[in-house]
């Protein structure tokens, strides 16, 4: 499975955000984090995109760890985030069909 984490922040806080991005975290076995991938959004600031990959059988353990990750950014002016669980279009979607 894939979980997409998108973080928004103000450009003037980029140095502090960079320090927080670099903080080490111990992910559960089987959870792979990709990113951050950074990009600007005109008139809104900057965004950071993270992709987390893990086996569906580890979803509970993985989500517990992923939900905690954005907490390191709380208190930064302009900070917001969103989490989206993405399923593979063919194989995983079948599990949700009647």
Tens of pLDDT, residue by residue, the chain (98 residues): 999 999 999 999 999 999 999 888 899 999 999 999 999 998 889 999 999 999 989 999 999 999 999 999 999 999 999 999 998 876 655 666 66
Helix (H, G, I), strand (E, B), or coil: what is residue 21? helix
pTM metric for this prediction:
0.84
Closest among 8, 5, 25 to 86, alpha carbons compared: 5
pLDDT at 85: 93
CB 58, CB 2: distance < 8 Å: no
For 2-96, the fitting CATH number among 2.60.40, 3.30.2010, 3.40.50, 3.30.70 is 3.30.70
pLDDT at 87: 83
pLDDT at 93: 59
Segments making up each domain of the chain, as ranges: 2-96
């Amino acid at each position: 499975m894939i979980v997409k984490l998108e973080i928004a922040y103000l450009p003037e806080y980029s140095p502090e955000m960079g320090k927080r991005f670099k903080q080490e975290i111990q992910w559960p076995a089987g959870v792979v984090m990709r990113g951050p991938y950074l990009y600007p959004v005109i008139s809104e600031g900057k965004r950071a995109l993270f992709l987390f990959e893990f086996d569906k059988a580890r979803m509970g353990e993985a989500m517990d760890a992923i939900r905690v990750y954005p907490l390191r950014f709380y208190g930064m002016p302009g900070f917001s985030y969103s989490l989206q669980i993405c399923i593979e279009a063919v194989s995983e979607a079948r599990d949700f069909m009647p």
